[in-house]
């Protein structure tokens, strides 16, 4: 397995992005970290380089909904680090309300961030990888992508299903080349997003376990991986098969 030395992570200032950055830094990888909150990014970068003095950590302010900036920042990171070996499309948004209840703006923002901005990130990453004829694109989708979700999860689940389909299509397009594409579908993992759900989410995994499992799945470079594998891999089969009435009660 190829060691991906130079890794870009979007949405790296907190949650799973921060957790991945810590683990890749401990493994000796160079990092390109971007997010909207540069104060948190700079604090994280200073900590990581102090703990792991052999690595390089580059940071940049990036709102992934500013699509032109995505291309500029990705190219700048590649220039600074001498290329990029892996890009993790992780930045996302968890807003949402039931469709038709007057919250179109929040639902639109969720879809724009999780799907349209993901497309911009994939485009920018794949331009670099096609030039290099090498690289690993990772799209962080969600377990909620497995089928249409009710209530507050409808727009979010649809956006993540779109991101998963986008990754699947890119994977098919570059099949047989040195470019690898992975879709990871996390279940419920402790983060700022889950903490805003108003209580402990059923089956939630701790942040450390979630980040460990996510990094392990990414390093395996499998095409598709549920994270953590237990219980989300068997649950994915079960929930796809449930009648809609039963499914709605469970989620």
Closest among 236, 70, 251 to 156, alpha carbons compared: 251
Query: Pairing state of beta strands 57-61 and 224-227?
Result: unpaired
CA distance 114 to 220: 24
pLDDT, position 189: 67
pLDDT, position 94: 87
Closest among 150, 148, 142 to 193, alpha carbons compared: 142
Tens of pLDDT along the chain (251 residues)?
678 999 999 999 988 999 999 999 999 999 999 999 899 999 999 999 999 999 999 999 999 999 999 999 999 999 999 999 999 999 999 888 999 999 999 999 999 999 999 999 999 999 999 999 999 999 999 988 887 788 888 999 999 999 999 999 999 999 999 999 999 999 876 665 544 444 445 566 566 787 888 999 999 999 999 988 777 787 777 777 666 766 566 66
pLDDT, position 207: 66
Query: In the chain, what are the domain boundaries?
Result: 6-250
pLDDT, position 164: 96
Give the 3-state secondary structure of residue 74.
helix
Closest among 74, 77, 79, 68 to 89, alpha carbons compared: 74
Phi-psi region of 82 (alpha: psi -120 to 50; beta: other; left: phi over 0): left
Residue 156 catalytic?
yes
Give the 3-state secondary structure of residue 216.
helix
197 contacts 104 by C-beta, under 8 angstroms: no
CATH superfamily of 6-250: NAD(P)-binding Rossmann-like Domain (3.40.50.720)
pLDDT, position 201: 56
CA distance 196 to 173: 37
Task: Please tell me which residue in 156, 188, 226, 232 is annotated as part of the active site.
Answer: 156
């Amino acid at each position: 397995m190829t060691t991906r030395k130079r890794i870009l992570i979007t949405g790296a200032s907190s949650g799973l992005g921060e957790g991945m950055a810590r683990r890749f830094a401990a493994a000796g990888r160079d990092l390109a970290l971007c997010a909207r909150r540069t104060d948190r990014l700079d604090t994280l970068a200073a900590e990581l380089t102090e703990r792991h003095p052999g690595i390089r950590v580059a940071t940049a302010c990036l709102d992934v909904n500013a699509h032109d900036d995505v291309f500029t920042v990705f190219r700048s990171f590649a220039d600074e680090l001498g290329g990029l070996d892996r890009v993790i499309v992780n930045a996302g948004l968890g807003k949402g309300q039931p469709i038709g209840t007057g919250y179109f703006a929040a639902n639109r923002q969720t879809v724009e961030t999780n799907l349209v901005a993901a497309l911009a990130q994939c485009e920018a990453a794949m331009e670099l990888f096609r030039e290099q004829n090498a690289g690993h694109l990772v799209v962080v989708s969600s377990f909620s992508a497995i089928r249409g979700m009710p209530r507050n999860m409808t727009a979010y689940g649809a956006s993540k299903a779109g991101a998963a389909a986008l990754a699947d299509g890119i994977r098919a397009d570059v099949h047989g080349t040195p470019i690898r594409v992975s879709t990871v579908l996390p279940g419920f993992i402790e983060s700022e997003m889950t903490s805003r759900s108003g209580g402990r989410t059923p089956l939630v995994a701790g942040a450390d376990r979630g980040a460990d499992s996510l990094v392990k799945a990414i390093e395996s470079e499998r095409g598709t991986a549920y994270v953590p594998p237990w219980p989300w891999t068997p649950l994915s089969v079960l929930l796809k098969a449930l009648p809609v009435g039963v499914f709605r009660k469970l989620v």
